[in-house]
């Protein structure tokens, strides 16, 4: 999961520095993730994991760092399993 996120972030994130050097808890907005790029990232993640982000998770916090995205995805995948 971490790898997929990093790969997508590299592809659509438009960040100035290399994604490999980012810590899991680095603030993605502070390193330059634009709102347009964050939506592209969300779309990529939806496709890669075959999920849909529920509206209540579409906020800055859910996508603030690689770790936060992992947590958001894990939460969605778990509730999908439970359903």
Partner 1 sequence: MSLAALATDLSLSARAHRVAAVAAEFAETVDRDARFPEEAVNAMKAERLLGIQIPARLGGEDATTLELAEVCAILGQSCAAAAMVFAMHQIKVSSLVEHGEESAWHIDFMRELAARQLLVASATTEGGIGGNLRNSICAIEIDGDTCRLSKDATVISYGTHADAIMITSRAHDKAAPGDQVMTVFRRGQYSLEKTVTWDTLGMRGTCSDGFLFKGEAPAVQIFPKPFAEIAAQSMLANSHLLWSGVWFGIAADAVSRAQAFVRAAARKTPGAQPPGTLRLAEASSLLQMLKSNILCGLKTYQQAKADPDHLSSMAFSIAMNNIKLASSETILTIINQAMIVCGIMGYKNGTPYSLGRHLRDAHSAQLMISNDRILGNTSTMLLIQKPDTSLLG
Q: Please, what is the minimum distance in Å from the beta carbon of residue 58 to partner 1?
A: 4
Burial 33-48 (b: 16+ CB within 10 A, else e): beeebbebbbebbeee
Chain positions contacting partner 1, by CB under 8 A: 16, 29-36, 39, 42-43, 46, 53, 55-56, 58-61
Q: Please, what is the minimum distance in Å from the beta carbon of residue 30 to partner 1?
A: 5
Q: Please, what is the minimum distance in Å from the beta carbon of residue 81 to partner 1?
A: 22
* 28 three-state secondary structure: coil
């Amino acid at each position: 999961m971490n790898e997929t996120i990093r790969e997508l972030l590299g592809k659509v994130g438009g960040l100035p520095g290399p994604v490999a050097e980012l810590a899991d808890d680095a603030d993605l907005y502070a390193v330059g993730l634009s709102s347009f790029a964050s939506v592209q990232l969300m779309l990529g993640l939806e496709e890669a994991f075959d999920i849909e982000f529920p509206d209540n998770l579409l906020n800055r916090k859910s996508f603030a760092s690689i770790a936060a995205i992992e947590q958001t995805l894990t939460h969605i995948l778990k509730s999908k399993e439970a359903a």
